[in-house]
Amino acid sequence: VLKDGSFKNLSGWAQEIATKRARLGNPLYQSIRHFKTFRSIFLNKVEAFVGLHQSSITQQDIILWNRTLNEAFDRMIELFTMYYGQVSEAQVYAQKMLISELSTPVISISDTVGVLPIIGQIDDYKSNDFAEKIMVQAKDLELSCLIIDLSGVPSIDTMMTNELFQVVNMLELLGIDTTITGIRPEIALTAVQLGIDFSKIRTYGKLKDAVSDLLHIR
């Protein structure tokens, strides 16, 4: 950049490094911190060079070098964060597609009882015909009871709760009882704060307890 004032080589480098960092899961703030460090190193080098060649360097040269380096670093950070964001979004999308492509999210553990483990946020399943898949599989497996395990759900909000209750209500219309297990303390607290009523749904703290009771009953 200092040689010819061109920024044309920045994009390729930024894309390559941002892609590597995003795929490795390196936090974005760490990379931004590195940019800050290297900016200081470059400017210190310019300062040292000016100190050695004061007689041949004008104030305009110093201003130009300072402006050029800062603009280069600013462009690099902009490009880097843009490419990092693109790769991160692509990874999130791929994960959601993987959830969508799961062929058998309902696990049959007996002739009449099945388990549906929820991993991640319930909202991740919203756009993937999740409820419809559950209905079809529960019916095909001729289940009379479906255990929905929330052990893998870190948190819940009103929208996610509505999604969950929609599945529960649809199962009820099919004559399938629903049991919910693995409700974390955070989820229970949120449910109380939101005024969510779980009293009409059978719940267990642990999946194994529900499986033991339901298999014994059925």
Task: Find the DSSP H helices in the chain.
Answer: 10-24, 28-52, 59-101, 130-140, 158-173, 185-194, 207-217
Average pLDDT, the chain: 84
Position 37 pLDDT exceeds 90: yes
User: Structure tokens of 72?
Assistant: 């280069």
Q: What pLDDT, on a 0 to 100 scale, did the predictor assign at position 81? A: 95
Query: Domain spanning 107-217 has what CATH number?
Result: 3.30.750.24
**pLDDT one-digit tens code per residue, 65-93:** 999 999 999 999 999 999 999 999 998 88
Q: Where in the chain is the domain with CATH 3.30.750.24?
A: 107-217
Whether this prediction's pTM lies above 0.85 is answered by no
| Cα distance between residue 19 and residue 26, in whole Å | 10
